[in-house]
Amino acid sequence: MKTLLRIVEGISVVLIFALIGARIMGFNPKGPRPGLWLSGSLVTSPVKDWSFVDNYPTIEVQTNSWYLIPHSVTIWCVSYQNNLYLQAFGRTWKQNIARDPHVRIKIGNQLYDRTVSPITDTSEFSGVAQNMTKKYPSWKPLKPSEIDLGIFLRIANN
């Protein structure tokens, strides 16, 4: 029994140090593999024009999980009328956003703490979808019967 207790203690210590190391150094997502904390330089000033994101094929988004460890993913994004929009595919991070809309976005090496909200306007949706088609030729435009306004999230300029 004492041996089992020592093994559990050893594993716990290793896990704690691994989480501390990941927190300090970050654990960014890579391709389809999700990550934990994003690392980079925090930008606190408002962004008036997000069109610079169109130069980046993907960005990274960190959400707050219910179990208090961040969850980050690599996603597509596009600008439309100087706003930033995220393509909201994927289950886990969308559930996190539904519970807590505060996110950390990594574009290049810059981090932005922002809030997201789903698109509810069909004309805004159409403009974002059109820009998605221009930026990502493999992205298939949706038919009117397939439109789900929650597929895109707008970034608030906090």
26 Rama sector, left if φ>0, alpha if ψ -120 to 50, beta otherwise: left
Residue 40 to residue 107: CA distance in whole angstroms = 9
Residue 118 to residue 124: CA distance in whole angstroms = 11
Helices and strands counted in the chain (H then E)? 3, 8
Question: Which pLDDT does position 19 carry in this prediction?
Answer: 61
Quickly tell me which residue has 């100087």 as its tokens.
82
Question: Which pLDDT does position 157 carry in this prediction?
Answer: 72
Question: Which pLDDT does position 25 carry in this prediction?
Answer: 53
- Bridge partners (DSSP) of residue 105 are 61, 112
Query: What is the value of pTM for the model shown?
Result: 0.79
107: Cβ contacts below 8 Å, ≥ 6 apart: 52, 53, 56, 59
Question: Which pLDDT does position 148 carry in this prediction?
Answer: 63
What backbone phi and psi angles, to 5 degrees, belong to 93?
A: -70, -30
CATH number belonging to the domain at 2-156, selected among 2.60.40.420, 1.10.1200.120, 2.30.110.10, 3.30.390.50: 2.30.110.10
Residue 78's Cβ-count burial label (10 Å; 0-12, 13-18, 19+) is: buried
Distance of CA 62 to the CA centre of its chain: 5
For the chain of 158 residues, list the mean pLDDT of each consecutive stretch of 10: 75 67 60 82 94 95 88 92 87 81 95 91 88 88 61 81
Domain ranges of the chain: 2-156
